[in-house]
Amino acid sequence: MEALLLGAGLLLGAYVLIYYNLVKAPQCGGLGTSAGSWSPPSGANSGIGKMTALELARRGARVVLACRSRERGEAAAFDLRQESGNNEVIFMALDLASLASVRAFATAFLSSEPRLDILIHNAGISSCGRTREAFNLLLRVNHIGPFLLTHLLVPRLKTCAPSRVVMVSSAAHQRGRLDFTRLDRPVVGWQQELRAYADSKLANVLFARELATRLEGTGVTCYAAHPGPVNSELFLRHVPGWLRPLLCPLAWLVLRTPKGGAQTPLYCALQEGIEPFNGRYFANCHVEEVPPAARDDHVAHQLWEASMKLAGLGPEEEEEPDEEPQPKDLSLLSTPYFGEPTVSEPSSPGPQRSPDLSTVIHRIQVKAEPDTQVS
């Protein structure tokens, strides 16, 4: 009996050490508490994105939830207004798998929202599920859609500088190896899905790096953020039903809560003084070195050129337009719950302050699929 108790005590002690040193997310301090407005974290209708949106709303930010599902997006906006006491939380429809939807969202957003200070790309998928497309769905949702949306919103980000772009990536980028001869080929089978997911997360890191280079001196800074291993909807979405009862308790024991997963994206969005790390990769609220494949400037440039083609952007759109497009078809978007947005402003390269949320507009770009999660 004593041996059993001793063994149980040792196991419990080992679990506590592992959880608090390797799993539990640090609480990122120094983010400020001022009120104001914001810009989109993808996948904010659940998991990491929703917790990110909630924190922003509690700080008084204006939050735009960009989700594919109108029902879930409007429900999330209602929940966030109730929990935060902030009525400036609205929903707009966006399907990152559809380039037409991305363009429609950008057009409507630019016509209705006077400011964009922080753009958070949190939406993502880890599997194609039963969907079979003629293209790489994982790359489209996790990289090409956010790439196109950022491209279309860059003029507004420049106008509102200092401003920030945050790409929620994953430690899975370390396993990524981009093959530009097969970049957009359809993904079939779980082995290809694992590879495609890692490749898309590597694309996130390289995109943040290249975007930072191209926007240097504009006041717009860019960061890739790793939320850590998170117990969110994404983790169990494609797990067979019979296996879920076995994995749920394990996930609860060894994975972070969505609130913990939101800490590093929030840090990249709000922390003052990180402008010298423009284009870098953050985990546990600290900058981290990435493998050679994730800091290869030649590959980052090559990815940019390939992404331009896959996003349907021609050479004439290489440079962002000075004039923002006027709305054409808003049928894909919901009517905002409230009137015209208020105004704001965040941080950029150099010794500048972090976003003053009392004067900043925050929009949270959300996709109906679960938020990005790390494995």
Structural domain contains residue 254: yes
Q: Read out DSSP for 200-244? A: HHHHHHHHHHHHHHHTTTTTEEEEEEE--SB-SHHHHTTS-GGGH
Which of 16-30, 288-302, 328-342 has the weakest average pLDDT?
A: 328-342
Check residues 339 and 121 and name the one with the higher pLDDT.
121
Structural domain contains residue 3: no
Structural domain contains residue 30: no
Query: Could you give the residue numbers annotated as active site?
Result: 197
* CA dist., res. 326 & res. 90, Å (int): 21
Q: Is the pLDDT of residue 242 over 70?
A: no
The mean pLDDT of 1-25, rounded to a whole number, is 57
Structural domain contains residue 7: no
Model pLDDT for residues 68-104, shown as the tens digit of each residue: 989 999 999 999 999 999 999 999 999 999 999 999 9
Mean pLDDT, the chain, rounded, equals: 78
Q: Is the pLDDT of residue 32 over 60?
A: no
* CA dist., res. 300 & res. 211, Å (int): 9
Structural domain contains residue 51: yes
Structural domain contains residue 57: yes
Model pLDDT for residues 164-220, shown as the tens digit of each residue: 999 999 999 999 999 999 999 999 888 999 999 999 999 999 999 999 999 999 999
Of 278, 216, 6, 42, which is closest to residue 143 (Cα–Cα)?
A: 42
Structural domain contains residue 177: yes
pLDDT score at 96? 94
Check residues 254 and 33 and name the one with the higher pLDDT.
254
> Reduced to 3 states, what is the DSSP secondary structure of residue 309?
helix
Residues facing residue 118 across a β-bridge: 164, 362
Q: Which domain holds residue 212?
A: 35-311
Structural domain contains residue 74: yes
Q: Is the pLDDT of residue 258 over 70?
A: yes
- Here the CATH number for the domain that contains residue 49 is 3.40.50.720
Q: How far apart are the first and last CA of the chain?
A: 38
Q: Looking at the 3D structure of the chain, how many domains does it have?
A: 1
Q: Is the pLDDT of residue 154 over 70?
A: yes
